[in-house]
Structures are given as C-alpha cells and as structure tokens.
C-alpha cells in the first residue's frame, strides 16, 4: 500500500495571539495520523497499528488523529460505510500553535511499516516482563496522549467491575483457542486448558485468605463451558459472540462476498465486547495468557498488571533486535532492557 500525502495550508493563530503571524525560520510539518484497516484483522490488531504510527511520529508533531476504519469488510460496525474508530474512541485533539503558512502532512501509513512495539513472534516483553515495565509505561503514555475510550463504554466497564469484581483478588485469564493462531505461539501450539487451570488453581491456593473472582476472556464457547464447570460461581465472563470450538470468529466470516458478509457481520456489539473484555481484564490483579495482540493491549491499558505467560521455558526473542536502525525504530524502550 502506497503512502498518500496530502499537503494542506493551515490558517489560524494561537489562543494568545490576536492576529495570524508569519512563521519565522524553518516551517514545521505537523502530521495527521490516518491509519487504515485491513480485511480480516482483529479489533486489537487494528488498535495496535494506530499505536505503532503514533509512536513513530510522536516527536514530529502530530496535529490530529483520524484513523480510517471505513473498510467495508471491517467487521466491528453495523454499517459498512461507518468509520469503526469513531464508534469506540475519542481522539484527543492536538493544537500546535497554528500560524499562517504552516504545512501539514497528512499521511496514511501501512500498518506494518514500523516496529515500534513487539510483534506477535516476540516473547521478550513477556519472558522479561518485569524489566519491560518502562516499555509498557511508555506505550501507555502515548495512548493517554492521543486517544481515549468513549465515556459511555468506560461507564459500562466501571459498572460491571463495581457489581462483580470490586473488593476481590481478580484473576484475569485470556485463552486464545482459535487453531489458526497457534503458529504465533512459541512451540507452534496453544497452551492446554489444563496448563491455564493449573495456574489458576495455584493462585487460588496462594490467595485463599482473600475473596477471589476469575474473569475469563476467550474466543471460544467451549473454553467458557470447561472453565464454568470447574470454577462455578468464581467465574465471570461477558455474554459475547464466540466460536463454538477452535475456529476463529473473524476468519470464519465470508471475507470475499460483501453482501453475504453484511448479512453475517458481527457488528458494533462484537467490537464492544472485545474492547470491554480487554478493559475488564486490565483491571484484574494478574493476567494469565499466551501470545496475542489482546494481551499486549491489556498490558498497555494497565502497565502494572502482573503477567503469567504460557507456555513456559522459552527464551526472550525479538525479531528486530539488533536491526533497529534499518527499521527506523523510534520507541526508546523497545529493546533497551532486553539487551542489557
């Protein structure tokens, strides 16, 4: 995908200046981020792409954030012409001193142009989780600077937490069960449900002096039923659309026939459930998980959440380590601690 460059003339003045003034010296170039979505990508994969662009251009002066999530095959909206970003997030406006003659570059950036956060084959941020706290704090600061979840979604999150989880030691569990993603996990297969349950059981024993709740986020109803039978009233989860077994809920959609896709489109509510799952999990005390964009975003929503990463016994890996210069990496915390 080629970059699209728009040059716009900005007229205006700072709040403290009554009249527009001429710019003296080199003219700055403010960036408007307009990250596009790709057909068949998951909700948090798209959020991650926006984050990557924000990190990469942060020091160049970002004037505005306007992600373009209008792709007709973007699944998490009810109408194909909607911009999916606007359904879930508020962009925090940036207001650099607007002066006559300022040039603004509007760039639509391909999602895989930069490597500003760890990718799906990187285990370093999980295996060296404690050392990577500055990395998570940095990405969290970028999120707070440029966008926020819509207020009505945050209110729904807080209500659920208050009614079901507040005052408890909360064990968050994200179980990615779709077989198509197993190749992303170290060793090429998902951790078994027994491995997840072993970690949950151990925490229940360790925290037996505390009231406990377990919050489950998963893509499979089979996983829900297995853990529901085992943990009964300790288990909380959202009534969200999921696959029956190990198929991917998005990849199983008809991504070549728009008419048929529109009939089966999961829509806004499906995106809302995914976002609320991630936000709710970020309010837990600990997250048990494997490799996924979902887990990464949870750790960015809450950099201080504890992590129990499965499978165990793998070395820290980053596919870009040692090649940062060639990839124009701007994130100062990407590999700083991993290389130490």
CATH of the domain at 272: 3.40.50.11350
Closest CA to 36 of 49, 55, 45, 25: 49
Residue 322 lies in a domain: no
Strand 306-309 and strand 286-289: the pairing is parallel
128 and 235 part of one domain: yes
61 and 151 part of one domain: no
103 and 128 part of one domain: no
208 and 273 part of one domain: yes
What is the number of structural domains in the chain? Answer: 2
Q: Which pLDDT value is given to residue 143? A: 96
Name residues whose C-beta falls within 8 Å of residue 6's C-beta, 6 or more positions apart in sequence. Answer: 32, 104, 105, 106
49 and 99 part of one domain: yes
Structure tokens at 132: 């990577």
Residue 323 lies in a domain: no
Domain boundary among 108, 142, 174: 108
The answer to whether 126 and 299 have CB atoms below 8 angstroms apart is no
Residue 332 lies in a domain: no
145 and 37 part of one domain: no
Query: Angle 203-313-221 (CA atoms, 0-180°, nearest 5)?
Result: 55
52 and 153 part of one domain: no
73 and 221 part of one domain: no
157 and 304 part of one domain: yes
| pLDDT tens digits, one per residue of 79-114 | 989 999 999 999 887 655 554 556 666 666 555 567
| pLDDT tens digits, one per residue of 13-36 | 222 222 333 434 444 467 788 888
128 and 239 part of one domain: yes
83 and 180 part of one domain: no
Domain extent, residue 81, equals 4-108
Q: Which pLDDT value is given to residue 3? A: 32
Residue 38 lies in a domain: yes
pTM of the full predicted structure? 0.85
Residue 338 lies in a domain: no
One pLDDT digit (tens) per residue for the chain, 340 residues = 333 322 222 222 222 222 333 434 444 467 788 888 887 778 999 999 999 989 988 887 787 888 999 999 999 999 989 999 999 999 887 655 554 556 666 666 555 567 899 988 889 999 999 999 999 999 999 999 999 999 999 999 999 999 999 999 999 999 988 887 888 889 999 999 999 999 999 999 999 999 999 999 998 889 999 999 999 999 999 877 776 766 666 667 787 888 998 888 889 999 999 999 999 999 999 999 999 999 999 999 999 999 999 999 999 988 877 666 656 788 988 876 555 5
148 and 180 part of one domain: yes
Give residue for tokens 């750790």: 299
Domain boundary among 61, 83, 108: 108
């Amino acid at each position: 995908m080629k970059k699209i460059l728009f040059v716009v003339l900005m007229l205006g003045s700072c709040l403290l200046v009554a009249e527009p003034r001429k710019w003296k010296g080199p003219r700055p170039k403010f960036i408007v981020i307009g990250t596009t979505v790709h057909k068949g990508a998951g909700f948090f994969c798209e959020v991650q792409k926006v984050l990557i662009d924000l990190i990469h251009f942060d020091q160049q002066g970002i004037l505005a954030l306007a992600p373009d999530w209008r792709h007709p095959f973007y699944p998490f909206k009810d109408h194909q012409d909607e911009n999916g970003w606007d359904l879930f997030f508020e962009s925090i406006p940036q207001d650099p001193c607007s002066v006559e003659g300022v040039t603004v570059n509007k760039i639509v950036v391909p999602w895989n142009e930069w490597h500003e956060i760890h990718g799906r084959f990187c285990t370093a941020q999980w295996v060296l989780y404690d050392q990577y706290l500055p990395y998570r704090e940095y990405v969290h600061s970028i999120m707070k600077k440029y966008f926020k979840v819509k207020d009505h979604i945050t209110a729904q999150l807080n209500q659920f937490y208050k009614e079901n989880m507040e005052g408890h030691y909360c064990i968050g569990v994200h179980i990615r069960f779709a077989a198509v993603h197993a190749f992303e996990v170290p060793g090429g297969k998902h951790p078994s449900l027994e491995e997840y349950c072993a970690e949950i059981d151990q925490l229940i024993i360790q925290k037996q002096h505390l009231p406990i709740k377990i919050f489950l986020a998963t893509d499979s109803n089979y996983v829900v039923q297995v853990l529901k039978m085992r943990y009964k009233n300790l288990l909380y989860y959202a009534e969200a659309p999921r696959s029956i077994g190990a198929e991917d809920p998005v990849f199983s959609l008809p991504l070549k026939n728009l008419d048929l896709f529109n009939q089966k489109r999961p829509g806004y509510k499906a995106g809302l459930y995914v976002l609320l799952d991630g936000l709710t999990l970020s309010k837990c005390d600990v997250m048990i998980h494997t490799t996924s964009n979902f887990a990464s975003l949870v750790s960015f929503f809450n950099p201080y959440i504890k992590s129990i990463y499965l499978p165990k016994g793998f070395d820290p890996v980053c596919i870009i380590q040692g090649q940062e210069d060639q990839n124009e990496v701007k994130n100062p915390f990407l590999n700083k601690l991993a290389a130490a």
